[in-house]
Amino acid sequence: MSTARRVTATDVARRAGTSQSAVSRVFTPGASVSPDLRERVMEAARSLGYRPNAIARSLITRRSRIVAVAMADLGNQFYPLVLEALSARLQAEGYQILLFTADPAAPSDPMIEQVMRYQVDAVVLASTGLSSALARECRALGVPVVMFNRMTDDPDLSCVIGDNERGGRDVAAFLAAAGHRRPAFIAGLEGSSTNRDRERGFVRGLAEAGLAAPARAAGHYSYEGAAAATRALLREAAPDAIFCANDHMAIACMEVARHEFGLSIPGDLSVVGFDDVGPARWRSYDLTSFSQPLGPMVEATVGMLLEFMDDPSLPVRRVVVGGELVLRGSARRPAGPLPHP
């Protein structure tokens, strides 16, 4: 029953009365084959149900047309959308995604080690949990690496990020202009570059507006973490605004503020997020948020990947994709016109 031996190019060749190499050429775009032969081969292939073996092809071409994507935190709505967009874009270019989900708890280097065995043509790291030592190692092997929404000081690594520092600063300027006096900050993962830059921008922005450094608590980019951080801040710091390092946490923050502390938003408390992900637009939240434009970020990533795969010796690049503060109802607005950034 399962004796269904796979149909090979040789089988097709025999049926079409030609050689295996001719069959190969028919399935290789741009190769030189006469229309007549091409038709015969296609016909034979169709009737036999031939499907080229990408594994065998990869072995010889040394290109798998597979891109490894490392992700974590699929519970944060930002990442699934990134994945969807990346996948669609790469599929359109004829690449497949080998997915690698990192458990933020466990060390994930040994797992991606496994992925590297598949001779992937490139790697996208969109998970904070992966060491950049690993990224460097890939690069040393000649495999292009792009860090997505993530950065290191390492000058040898390419990345695509949103404008985190400016975002933090804009939020600070906005909150200050609206008359908030005691803004607080809920941090994401302490080690992450996104969090560091957003916080730095926020703190600087507040300073520029003549406000003191904000109270802060860490939410680790998780729902529960942000809920706990909100409780702590509301109990101890009496803030009149909270800037959360991403929307996922901002939602948790709003839930706690409203339902556990009975606060009205933005009457008693303004809340601002980062990412401008789907739920930010849901009416219950109507979240003011600094956007990270998914489309352009993915476009930049795929563009770099394609170029690097074409020529691995190209110089490292760091792309910053601009975003903007999207004003909604979760934060009190300045009376006058907005300060222009």
Partner DNA sequence: TCCCTTTTTGCATACGTATGCAACAGCCTG
Partner DNA sequence: CAGGCTGTTGCATACGTATGCAAAAAGGGA
Nearer to its own copies, 117 or 235 (CB): 117
The contact mask relative to its own copies for 55-74 (x = CB under 8 A, - = no) is xx-xx----x-x--x----x
Could you say which of its own copies, DNA, none residue 87 binds, taking C-beta under 5 to 8 angstroms by partner kind?
its own copies
- Secondary element (H or E) of residue 244: strand 241-244
Q: Judged by CB under 8 A, does residue 1 bind its own copies?
A: yes
**Strands (DSSP E) found in 116-239:** 122-126, 145-148, 158-162, 183-187, 215-218
Could you say which of DNA, its own copies, none residue 47 binds, taking C-beta under 5 to 8 angstroms by partner kind?
none
- Which residues inside 300-319 make contact with its own copies, applying CB under 8 A? 312-313
Q: Which residues of 206-227 are buried (b: 16+ CB within 10 A; e: fewer)?
A: beebebeebbbbbbbbbbebbb
Structural Rg of the chain based on CA atoms: 25
| Nearest approach, Cβ of residue 134 and DNA (Å) | 20
Write down the residue that tokens 């926020």 correspond to.
202
User: By C-alpha distance, which of 73, 51, 63 is closest to 5?
Assistant: 51
Stretch that binds its own copies, among 106-114, 182-190, 211-219, 330-338 (CB under 8 A): 106-114
Stretch that binds DNA, among 15-23, 64-72, 102-110, 264-272 (CB under 7 A): 15-23
Candidates 8, 20, 87, 152; binder of its own copies (CB under 8 A) is: 87
Candidates 231, 258, 317, 333; binder of its own copies (CB under 8 A) is: 258
Q: Judged by CB under 8 A, does residue 131 bind its own copies?
A: no
Could you say which of DNA, its own copies, none residue 338 binds, taking C-beta under 5 to 8 angstroms by partner kind?
none
Q: Judged by CB under 7 A, does residue 47 bind DNA?
A: no
Assign residue 308 a region: left if phi > 0, alpha if psi is -120 to 50, beta otherwise? alpha
End-to-end CA distance of the chain: 69
Q: At what angle do helices 164-177 and 193-208 cross, to 10 degrees?
A: 30
Q: Half-sphere exposure of 149 toward its Cβ, with a 13 Å CA cutoff?
A: 26
Question: Phi, psi (5° rounding) for residue 165?
Answer: -65, -45
Q: Look at the alpha carbons of 234, 237, 243, 248 in this order and tell me if their dihedral is positive or negative.
A: negative
Candidates 2, 3, 34, 114; binder of DNA (CB under 7 A) is: 34
Q: Judged by CB under 8 A, does residue 156 bind its own copies?
A: no
Q: What is the DSSP code (8-state) at residue 279? A: G
Candidates 114, 155, 262, 315; binder of its own copies (CB under 8 A) is: 114
Residue ranges in contact with its own copies by CB under 8 A: 1-2, 4, 6, 51-56, 58-59, 64, 66, 69, 74-75, 77, 79-81, 83-84, 87-88, 91, 94, 96-101, 103, 111, 113-119, 140-142, 223, 251, 254-255, 258-259, 278-279, 282-285, 312-313
